[in-house]
Amino acid sequence: MKDVRQNAILSIVQSKEIDTQEQLLEELRRQGLSATQATISRDIKELRLVKELTGSGSYRYAPSERKASSTFDNRLRNIFREGVVLVDVAQNIVVIRTMPGLASAACSAIDAMDIEGMVGSLAGDDTGILIMRDNALAQQFNSEVHKLLK
């Protein structure tokens, strides 16, 4: 239900000028979806909707043009500072060595980041692997991680 509602929200804000949560709730109701204001507020945050200025001088909700790279950077830095010992790449696989017991937490957090090109992860006790779509994406992710850790 959450995915259906969030997809509907994206469709609504891309097709209409919605400037309040109340207007968004009303549009959802017209589509047969019900939600509370608190739920809509969480959806707006999760979808990273921002208010942008329109040509007429009013504001409207819109998908953020800016990627969540700063959020990604901060979360990844925290994870890696706390327990990652080594990051290396082998073809399309990124290997993450952690302190004992932390590989699962590191992989779980990385999974939640919805990293482009990542197919999935697998974690043991102190080693996790990220499976990337291809070698280039694995190298790119590895490079970005090493830049973050400097």
pTM of the model: 0.52
- Looking at domain 2-63, its CATH class is mainly alpha
* Position 75 pLDDT exceeds 70: no
Span of 33-37, 52-56, 95-99 with lowest mean pLDDT: 52-56
- Looking at domain 69-149, its CATH class is alpha beta
Contacts of 127 (CB under 8 A, 6+ apart): 95, 96, 97, 98, 103
Report the pLDDT value the prediction gives residue 65, as an integer from 0 to 100. 64
Report the pLDDT value the prediction gives residue 58, as an integer from 0 to 100. 86
Percent of the chain whose pLDDT exceeds 70: 89
Indicate the average pLDDT of the chain: 86
Q: Where in the chain is the domain with CATH 3.30.1360.40?
A: 69-149
* Position 42 pLDDT exceeds 70: yes
Q: Where in the chain is the domain with CATH 1.10.10.10?
A: 2-63
* Position 148 pLDDT exceeds 80: no
Average pLDDT value for residue range 2-20: 91
Higher pLDDT, 70 or 6: 6
Report the pLDDT value the prediction gives residue 114, as an integer from 0 to 100. 74
